[in-house]
């Protein structure tokens, strides 16, 4: 076999091993080292069986990942999100929005989506948002006689907005993978993120108008004793502190006042201060937040190490060139190339999580993105929209499983899957809108940073 054929075998074997359940990060490292040993085998310079350049490559790739300044922002933003999650702000925010929107059709669903969108600006952790809103809003919607599937779709779709809306962890990982400025990615993701949230809200209101039994109006006696000034007070003590924290962090990044890592550090400190102000700061909660931060950060970093080693060997043996030549031979237009890549990413979202797709497969697409003259920033925002589907598409819809884990026993997984499906159509619609009007993603970066 030629080296390029071995590279394709390496990629196919990796996909097969992952499909049967092996841990992805360690599979990447093992495959990279094994095939790398073959690729770099040179008996004329090796003094022992361990004197192979693959081991030097593995060490260098590990050091490069650990010294990457962009990746430093990941644990800091994660810690900010986990601390804010425990600061009792979100429950106040949901309560105030639910009361303020009580005359809107599907008011509790609308309040849930708004809370998810706002909470997503404080944390990019999908599991945390879905779980928290599943504990907070889902029981209240069921109590109000909402259709279980309809309510489940709201929680799952709203909880996934953190993939796209800054400070998205996914965009930081994409930046580290492609060398696209995370600052520009954040600026580009604002409008598409809130456009998608707006489409969700329009859909919920429309369904509630057409079929009021899906989302009945809450009884008057639930809100009759709550005065207008109390609603404003709840908004001031929930929305304003969270908004100030997020605006200070993101504003510092977008306006160039601080690097993402510096801004994330300030955000972490702000999260601690908020938790202390709400009387929610305890040693146990800090320990739990640190543990969750370390666990998630370690997963991302080891994926980077494994992917960097795997990709280096794959490229060295000519696999990347084979893929590029094959796609170019198809004589695709930029439009058909975008459609093809987005379909591939959509399908990869069934067995894989977003981090694995970004770290492993985006580097394979990247040379082709440049070949077809597509802006990598625009490509990244499209992927961020598309990856919403990886959490919502049965049978491996992680958002659905997060919610099922805390939902009442009578709520079936099939109900949750059914509730998620309409939002898949809305994600695809948002991608079509973004392609037709790319300025939605590119206008803010161009205004702030030029071409």
pLDDT digits (tens, 9 = 90+) for 36-50: 888 888 777 777 777
CA atoms within 13 A on the CB side of 212: 6
> CA separation (Å) from 185 to 128, 140, 193, 248, 425?
23, 36, 12, 17, 24
> Which region, left, alpha or beta, applies to residue 318 given φ > 0 means left and ψ of -120 to 50 means alpha?
left
Measured distance CA(204)–CA(97) in Å, rounded: 15
Structure tokens at 239: 């929305």
Q: Is the pLDDT of residue 195 over 90?
A: yes
Residues 201-213 pLDDT 10s:
999 999 999 999 8
CA atoms within 13 A on the CB side of 28: 24
Residues 424 and 392 sit within 8 Å (Cβ to Cβ): yes
Q: Is the pLDDT of residue 230 over 70?
A: no
Q: Is the pLDDT of residue 226 over 60?
A: no
Polymer length of the chain = 451
Over residues 396-403, mean pLDDT: 80
Residue 123's pLDDT is: 65
DSSP three-state, residue 416: helix
Measured distance CA(363)–CA(302) in Å, rounded: 16
Cis before residue 167, ω within 30 degrees of 0? yes
| Residue 344 CB contacts under 8 Å (≥ 6 apart), including other chains | 361
More confident: 125 or 346: 346
Rg value, the chain, Cα: 23
Percent of the chain whose pLDDT exceeds 70: 94
Residue 78's pLDDT is: 82
Residue 229's pLDDT is: 62
More confident: 60 or 349: 60
Q: Residues 139, 140, 145, 150: what is their CA dihedral angle, to the nearest 10 degrees?
A: -70
> Which region, left, alpha or beta, applies to residue 145 given φ > 0 means left and ψ of -120 to 50 means alpha?
left
Measured distance CA(208)–CA(149) in Å, rounded: 13
> Which region, left, alpha or beta, applies to residue 156 given φ > 0 means left and ψ of -120 to 50 means alpha?
alpha
φ, ψ for residue 440, nearest 5 deg: -60, -35
Structure tokens at 36: 């790398």
Measured distance CA(442)–CA(436) in Å, rounded: 12
Residues 408-445 pLDDT 10s:
888 888 888 888 899 999 999 999 999 999 999 999 89
Structure tokens at 215: 């989302």
Structure tokens at 434: 């973004």
**What's 40's DSSP letter?**
T
Q: How many other CB atoms sit within 10 Å of the CB of residue 68?
A: 15
> Read out DSSP for 165-214?
SSS-HHHHHHHHHH---HHHHHHHHHHHHHHHHHHHHHHHHHHHHH-GGG
Structure tokens at 306: 């494994």
Measured distance CA(132)–CA(135) in Å, rounded: 5
Residues 205 and 106 sit within 8 Å (Cβ to Cβ): yes
More confident: 99 or 30: 30
Burial tier of 149 (Cβ tally within 10 Å: 0-12, 13-18, 19+): buried
Least confident of 10-14, 179-183, 243-247: 243-247
Measured distance CA(119)–CA(131) in Å, rounded: 12
pTM of the full structure: 0.83
* Listed residue (298, 287, 309) closest to 54, CA to CA: 309
Residue 441's pLDDT is: 93
């Amino acid at each position: 076999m030629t080296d390029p054929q071995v590279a394709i075998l390496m990629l196919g074997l990796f996909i097969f091993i992952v499909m049967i359940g092996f841990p992805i990060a360690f599979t990447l490292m093992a495959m990279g080292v094994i095939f790398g040993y073959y690729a770099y085998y040179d008996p004329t310079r090796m003094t022992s069986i361990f004197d192979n350049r693959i081991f030097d490559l593995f060490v260098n790739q590990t050091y490069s990942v650990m010294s990457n300044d962009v990746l430093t922002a990941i644990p800091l933003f994660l810690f900010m999100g986990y601390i804010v999650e425990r600061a009792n702000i979100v429950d106040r925010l949901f309560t105030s929005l639910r009361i303020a929107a009580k005359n809107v059709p599907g008011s509790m669903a609308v309040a849930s989506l708004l809370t998810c969108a706002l909470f997503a600006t404080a944390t990019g952790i999908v599991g945390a948002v879905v779980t928290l809103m599943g504990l907070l809003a889902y029981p209240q919607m069921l109590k109000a006689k909402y259709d279980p599937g309809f309510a489940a779709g709201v929680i799952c779709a709203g909880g996934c907005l953190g993939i796209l809306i800054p400070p998205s962890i996914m965009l930081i990982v994409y930046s580290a993978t492609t060398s696209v400025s995370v600052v520009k990615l954040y600026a580009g993701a604002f409008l598409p993120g809130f456009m998608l949230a707006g489409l969700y809200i329009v859909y919920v209101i429309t369904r509630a108008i057409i079929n009021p039994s899906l989302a009945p109006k809450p009884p008057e006696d639930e809100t009759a004793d709550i005065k207008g000034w109390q609603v404003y007070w709840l908004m001031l003590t929930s929305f304003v502190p969270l908004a100030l924290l997020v605006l200070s962090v993101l504003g510092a990044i977008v306006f160039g006042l601080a690097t993402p890592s510096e801004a994330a550090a300030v955000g972490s400190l702000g999260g601690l201060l908020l938790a202390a102000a709400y009387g929610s700061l305890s040693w146990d909660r800090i320990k739990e937040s640190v543990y969750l931060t370390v666990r998630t950060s370690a997963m991302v970093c080891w994926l980077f190490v494994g992917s960097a080693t795997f990709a280096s060997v794959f490229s060295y043996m000519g696999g990347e060139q084979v893929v590029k030549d094959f796609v170019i031979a198809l004589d695709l237009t930029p439009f058909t190339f975008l459609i093809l890549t987005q379909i591939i990413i959509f399908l990869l979202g069934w067995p894989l999580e977003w981090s694995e797709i970004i770290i492993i497969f985006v580097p394979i697409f990247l040379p082709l993105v440049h070949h077809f003259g597509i802006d990598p920033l625009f490509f990244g925002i499209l992927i961020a929209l598309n990856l919403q589907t990886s959490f919502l598409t049965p049978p491996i819809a992680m958002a659905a499983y997060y919610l099922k884990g805390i939902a009442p026993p009578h709520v079936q997984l099939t109900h949750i899957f059914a509730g998620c499906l309409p939002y898949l159509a809305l994600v695809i619609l948002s991608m079509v809108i973004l392609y037709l009007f790319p300025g939605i993603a590119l206008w803010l970066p161009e205004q702030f940073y030029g071409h």
